[in-house]
Structure 1
Amino acid sequence: MSLLDIYLQKNGKKRYDVFKETGISQQMLSSVNKKNVSSYSVKTIQAIAKTVEKNEGMVLDELLQLEKENAYFEVHNTEDLLTAFDNKETYIVIKGDYKNEMEMLAKSQLSETETLGLELGSAGTITILAEAIYQLANLFSNKDHEQKKIESQIRRYKIKKINEDEFLLYLRQLDY
């Protein structure tokens, strides 16, 4: 889970904003993003606090609360979704108007029962054949790079409807 990205997102900022505001390297922010809050340095907390215009104690408290809640990465547009995929987020919540756009992709996925039936009926070879067909179709597709990346990455996730306004994406490997 990328706790730093989730925290910054909730405050309307990105890691780049922290870099621009404080000069703290993006490589350092990337490595911090994968760690627990207890391992954040004072310098990092100060940089985050300056960027979100809060005091260090409040930032630390809010980060610890987020860590305790096990917060999900929220997606409101294509850029957020690509960031979530780049961060290899375990859980992604798609909200707002973007949920309607993602509904088409959700409808294109087979249900668990359908997938299991196909795999059992074909002794597993359907998975290999389906991947080959997908890659071939993707090669000749005229979709833009972002759309291809989204379609490719979303295949790693299961889509679950939370309510009328939200979808939850979670990694397929979590079911095993």
Structure 2
Amino acid sequence: MGLLDVYLQKNEKKRYDVFKETGLSQQMLSNVNKKEVTGYSVKTIQAIAKTVGKSEGTVLEELLGLEKENAYFEVFNIEDLLLAFKNKETHIVIKGEYKKEIVPFAEGQLLEIETMGTGLGSAGMVAVLAEIILHVATFFSNKDADYRKIENQIRKYRIKKLNDDELLLYLRQLDY
């Protein structure tokens, strides 16, 4: 989970804002995003605090709280979803009106029990063949680039309805 990204999102900021405000390199912020809060340097906490307009102590407390509650990356639009995929978020919550655009992907997903027999019977070759066919179909698709990226990435996730306004996407590999 990209804890830094989740924290910044809750404060309506992005890593780029921290870079722009403080000069902390994007590479360093990317590395920090993969760490636990105890691995954050004082310099990093200070940069985050300056960007979100809070004290260092408040930022540290809020980061530790988020880490404890295991917060999910929240998505409200296509840009947020593409960022979540880029950051390889393990859990993504799709909220609000954007949920309606993701529902067709959920309806098209086969359950694991529906694919297990074919996968086992073919020694996994059906899955390989299906991926090849999907890549060829995507290549010749007339849909826009962002839609194709979402279509390609969302296959790596299971989709679960949390309530009427939220969908949870979580990596399929977490089931194993």
Q: CA deviation at 1:113?
A: 2.0
Question: Which amino acid in structure 1 is aligned with residue 19 of structure 2?
Answer: F
* CA distance in structure 1 between the partners assigned to 2:34 and 2:121 by the alignment: 40
Q: Describe the superposition over 1:10-44 as per-residue Cα deviations: whole angstroms up to 9, x where unpaired.
A: 00000011111111111111111111111111111
Q: Describe the superposition over 1:85-129 as per-residue Cα deviations: whole angstroms up to 9, x where unpaired.
A: 111111111111111100011111112221223324544322122
* CA distance in structure 2 between the partners assigned to 1:143 and 1:117 by the alignment: 32
Q: Describe the superposition over 1:53-96 as per-residue Cα deviations: whole angstroms up to 9, x where unpaired.
A: 11110000000000111111111111111111111111111111
Question: Which amino acid in structure 2 is aligned with residue 40 of structure 1?
Answer: Y
* CA distance in structure 1 between the partners assigned to 2:171 and 2:89 by the alignment: 8
Match of 2:170? 170
* CA distance in structure 2 between the partners assigned to 1:95 and 1:61 by the alignment: 26
* CA distance in structure 2 between the partners assigned to 1:42 and 1:116 by the alignment: 49
Structure 2 residue matching 1:160: 3-state secondary structure: strand
* CA distance in structure 1 between the partners assigned to 2:33 and 2:76 by the alignment: 20
Q: Say yes or no: does 1:23 pair with 2:23.
A: yes
Matches within 5 A, 1:7-46: 7-46=7-46
Uncovered stretches (5+) of structure 2, i.e. residues with no partner: none
Detail structure 1 runs of 4+ shifted over 6 Å in the superposition.
none
* CA distance in structure 2 between the partners assigned to 1:68 and 1:4 by the alignment: 13
Uncovered stretches (5+) of structure 1, i.e. residues with no partner: none
Alignment root-mean-square deviation, CA: 1.1
Match of 1:87? 87
| Alignment size in residue pairs | 176
TM score, norm. by length of structure 2: 0.96
Q: Say yes or no: does 1:48 pair with 2:48.
A: yes
Match of 1:156? 156
